[in-house]
Structures are given as structure tokens and as C-alpha cells.
Structure 1
Amino acid sequence: MTDALGYRAKFGVLGPSTNTIVQPDFDDLRPAGVTNHYSRIIIQNAAAISDETFMQGTLEIDRCTEDAVKGVLTCAPDYLVMGMSAVTFYGGAEGAAGWKRNIEEIAGLKISTGSESVVAALKTLGGIRKVAVLSPYYPVANAEVARFLSDHGFETVRDIPLRCPSWQAIAQVQPHTIREAVKEIDGDDVDAIVQVGTNLSMVKLAAQLELTLAKPVIAINAATYWHALRAYGIKDRMAGCGRLLEEY
């Protein structure tokens, strides 16, 4: 029997319990007949005050992810979408592939991750070799993002880690702060702007910045959901959320 609302696809979304941006973002992006079923990775609102504490916090999320996978499987999803990005970049291309493979083995389902979605977006948009990266992370995690992108042939020219002091604080970053950060890392030597960190609200703002900067601005939540739709064979396009969803 077909699900009454998710008659095209039921997506199991995995995200930290402290994250308040992924769920509304993904719901804004879903086409008719696709439903999102958020499974919370239960964590506390960790204080991130250094490279070390940030990494410890993200690794704690990683350790708790398996339980969230098992929980969402009880609604019989068709496909999984990762709503937490940092750990999906760790260890370069090889580490990221291994992380994804482990989740898919546990779930018996395919999953779209933030790291692979960003690379797929960059390749799909075309003509991109040099990027600038914005994150709510600490420098140690930005270095992991740059390493992963380098493994896939993309050079990170500049980056800004906003050093948000807790997981909840990421969602409190306001648009003017993001605009100023993008202005700082942009330049004629940059082909595209990449934003990572799923609790940073940037989907609609990225679409606006694409128009003013005349270059791709990739918000990770838009890229990840786009990747999930296309990987599952859903080709619907959506206006107002950036070129990826509008054109590809």
C-alpha cells in the first residue's frame, strides 16, 4: 500500500536534537508527495570553545547517530538524508566514503550526505575549481572541509569559521552576519561560495546572494535535499531556493 502523503517518497532525516534549522528547511524544499521524517540524534547543547571541544562535540553526535538511524527505520522510509554535515567531511574523501558506507550498512538504505552533496553540486554547476567556505565551525573542522574538497579537485581559497559557542547558537546567527562573512571571503579569485553547517540558516539568503554576486552560492541544506531528490529519481524544480533546485 502507498503512503497517503508520502506517495512518491518517505525520507528519513537524521539530525542533532539541538538543530532547529534542518527540519523547517527540508520541509520548505519538499515537493508534493514527498514527506520528511525527522529522527533526532539525542545530544546536549555542547559548549564549543576551542578546536578540541568542537571536535569532541561532533564526534559525540557521530556516536549517537546509529540510534537515530534505527529509530527512523520504524516508519519504513525509502531513503535517508543526513541533516548534520561536519562528520561527513572528516578524513577526506576516503573517510567520508567510509562513514557513508557504515550508515548505509546499518540502515539497509541509501543516504545523501552533506559532503557528497556539495561536491555533486559543484560538479553539476560546472566551471568551478576555486571556492570560499563559510561555516559555524572551528578552524579544525574547516580544515577537514578543505581537505575533503581538495580530494575532489576543488581548492579552498579562503574560509571563515564563525566559531559558534554552542550547537543552539549556530541557529541564532543572523543574516547580516552571514552577509558580512560572505563579503569577506568572496573575490575575483573565487568561483563559488560554499556554506556548511546545517544549523546555519542560509537557503533563501544563498539564493539572493547568487543574484548579487553573479556566482554560485551553495547552502548545504539546499544541496543535500537536492541531492536526495535527484538520487531518488525525483526531478521537480523549485524557484527561490538557488540555481541547483531551479535548474538541475
Structure 2
Amino acid sequence: MTNVVGPRAVFGVIVPSTNTVVEHDYWTAAVPGISYRVGSMYIPRPAMDNDQDFEALLVQIRSSLDTAVRDVLTAGPDRMVMGMSAETFWGGVEGNASFERRLRKATGLPVTTGADSCRAALRELGCERIAVFSPYQPVADREVGRFFTEAGFRVSSVTGLRCPTATDIAKVGSDRIREMVMSLDGPEVEALVQVGTNLSFVAQAGELEAELGKPVIAINTATLWHALRSHGFGDQVEGAGALLREH
């Protein structure tokens, strides 16, 4: 349902309550006529400093997802966008498809997820050989790698920053991220992909892309691009890399 501040579309966006980056990235893109109604999944225990804690974090996400979706639906959005990524990669390609089916059935709306957005972006850019980094623990990185492999990409590595809490993801600085990207890059890598929506990377991804001469995809860029293009909007956005600027 469009409105005065979103005359073209209102996107419902679901984020963990610990996330402070997704809204910033979407509003910074300043796409005319698009507004966002954000719903939060309550995360009372944000620890994720080992595999067990990370899986416990996902339990919290799953238990609060329906409430967050319920709240967003009261604003009458035109599309649901998942501003959280780990759960959308879980279970590989079929896990993501099942997650999307559940959300479409619950909302009656088209759905954008992080996993599907990254897959669509890589296909649009014509990249097959990729390297991926995340703020996650190994248990989650394995699921990310599984999704991309099942989706037909050749994954040279998936490396996590091993952030100790969900809120610490947003504290990772540009120097550490740059170091990670440079360690993953190589002549065999056609594109670098970042997952984990609370990691601030959109602007830096564009800068590194220009420096490296190859696609560097931030997941928040990918989800916004997917939501816009799937909804029929071709707006070109500067400052976030070639995906939103040229595709």
C-alpha cells in the first residue's frame, strides 16, 4: 500500500533487534518514492561466539520472526524484504526456497531474501567463481557455502570474522574488512560476496570493487537491488557499486 512518503512502494523489512545497519543502508540509497517499515525480531541473548551460541541465536530469530512479520503487515507493505541473512542460507537452496514459500504464504506478498538476492546478483553479473566472507561462526559459514555450491557457484572459500555477539557485527571497522577482502581475493576469484546484514560494507564494497576491478557484493546492496528490480523499478544508485548503478 503506497502512501505519501512511499508513493511508489512501501517495503516491509525484517531485521534482528540487534541490527543497526540495514535501515541506514536502505535510507542512504535514497531511492525516490520508496519507504520502509521495519519490524524487529527480539534478540535478548545476542552471544554468537561459538557454534552452539550461533545456533541458539537462530532459535531466537525463528521464535520471533512471525511476530515481526505480523507487526510489519499492519503498515500494508507491498513487498517483504528479509534484512537478515543467516536464516535465509540455512538448509541450502531448498532451505531458502522453503523459507520464501513460508513467508509468501504468511503474508500474501512477494519476498526478497538475502540468499536469493546474492544468487540473482551473481547471475546478473555473470560470475561463477566466488569467495565469501561473513561475521559468522563456522556452523553458519558451512551453510552459506552449501547454498552457493548448490546454486551452481564455485566457492573458493567462506571465511567468518567470528564476531562474539550480534551487536559486535556493526562494530567491525573498515580496516579489518579490507584485510579480509584482500586475503580472499585472487586471480581465480571472479567476485567477492559479503553476507551478514549488520556488517557495514555497502560504501566500502563500491570502493573495493573499483580498486580490484571485479564485483564486490554487499548483501544489503543485493537485497535492495533485488527488491527494486523484482518490483519493476530500474533506479540507478550511485555509491554502492556496479550492481545498483548499472544493472
Band of TM-score, shorter chain: over 0.9
In the alignment, what sits opposite 1:101?
101
RMSD: 1.1
Kindly state the Cα deviation for residue 147 of structure 1 after the two structures are TM-superposed.
0.5
Alignment-mate amino acid for residue 83 of structure 1 = G
Kindly state the Cα deviation for residue 29 of structure 1 after the two structures are TM-superposed.
2.0
State the TM-score, normalizing by the size of structure 1. Answer: 0.97
- How many Å separate the matches in 2 of 1:2 and 1:90? 32
In the alignment, what sits opposite 1:19?
19
- How many Å separate the matches in 1 of 2:225 and 2:79? 13
Kindly state the Cα deviation for residue 142 of structure 1 after the two structures are TM-superposed.
0.7
Tell whether 2:217 aligns with 1:245. Answer: no
Kindly state the Cα deviation for residue 45 of structure 1 after the two structures are TM-superposed.
4.3
Alignment of 1:74-85 (within 5 A): 74-85=74-85
- How many Å separate the matches in 2 of 1:230 and 1:62? 28
In the alignment, what sits opposite 2:189?
190
Which runs of 4 or more aligned residues in structure 1 lie more than 3 Å from their structure 2 counterparts after TM superposition? none
Kindly state the Cα deviation for residue 247 of structure 1 after the two structures are TM-superposed.
0.3
In the alignment, what sits opposite 2:161?
162
In the alignment, what sits opposite 2:118?
118
Kindly state the Cα deviation for residue 40 of structure 1 after the two structures are TM-superposed.
1.0
Kindly state the Cα deviation for residue 30 of structure 1 after the two structures are TM-superposed.
4.0
In the alignment, what sits opposite 2:212?
213
Determine if contact 2:48/2:54 at 8 Å carries over to the other structure. Answer: yes
Alignment-mate amino acid for residue 95 of structure 1 = G
Gaps of 5+ in 1: none
Determine if contact 1:45/1:168 at 8 Å carries over to the other structure. Answer: no
Alignment-mate amino acid for residue 112 of structure 1 = T
- How many Å separate the matches in 2 of 1:129 and 1:2? 37
State the TM-score, normalizing by the size of structure 2. Answer: 0.98
- How many Å separate the matches in 1 of 2:141 and 2:59? 15
Secondary structure, aligned partner of 2:74: helix
Alignment-mate amino acid for residue 91 of structure 1 = G
Secondary structure, aligned partner of 2:232: coil
Kindly state the Cα deviation for residue 2 of structure 1 after the two structures are TM-superposed.
5.0
Secondary structure, aligned partner of 2:131: strand
In the alignment, what sits opposite 2:3?
3
Alignment-mate amino acid for residue 220 of structure 1 = I
Q: Deviations over 1:203-222 (max 9, x none)?
A: 00000000111110000000
Quick one: structure 1 residues 2 and 158, their matched pair in 2 at CA, closer, same or farther if it must change by over 3 Å?
closer
Secondary structure, aligned partner of 2:39: strand
Kindly state the Cα deviation for residue 159 of structure 1 after the two structures are TM-superposed.
2.3
- How many Å separate the matches in 1 of 2:137 and 2:129? 21
- How many Å separate the matches in 2 of 1:79 and 1:144? 26
When the two structures are aligned, how many residues end up with a matched partner? 247
Q: Quote the sequence identity (%).
A: 47
Secondary structure, aligned partner of 1:75: coil
In the alignment, what sits opposite 1:48?
48
Determine if contact 2:2/2:9 at 8 Å carries over to the other structure. Answer: no
Kindly state the Cα deviation for residue 92 of structure 1 after the two structures are TM-superposed.
0.7
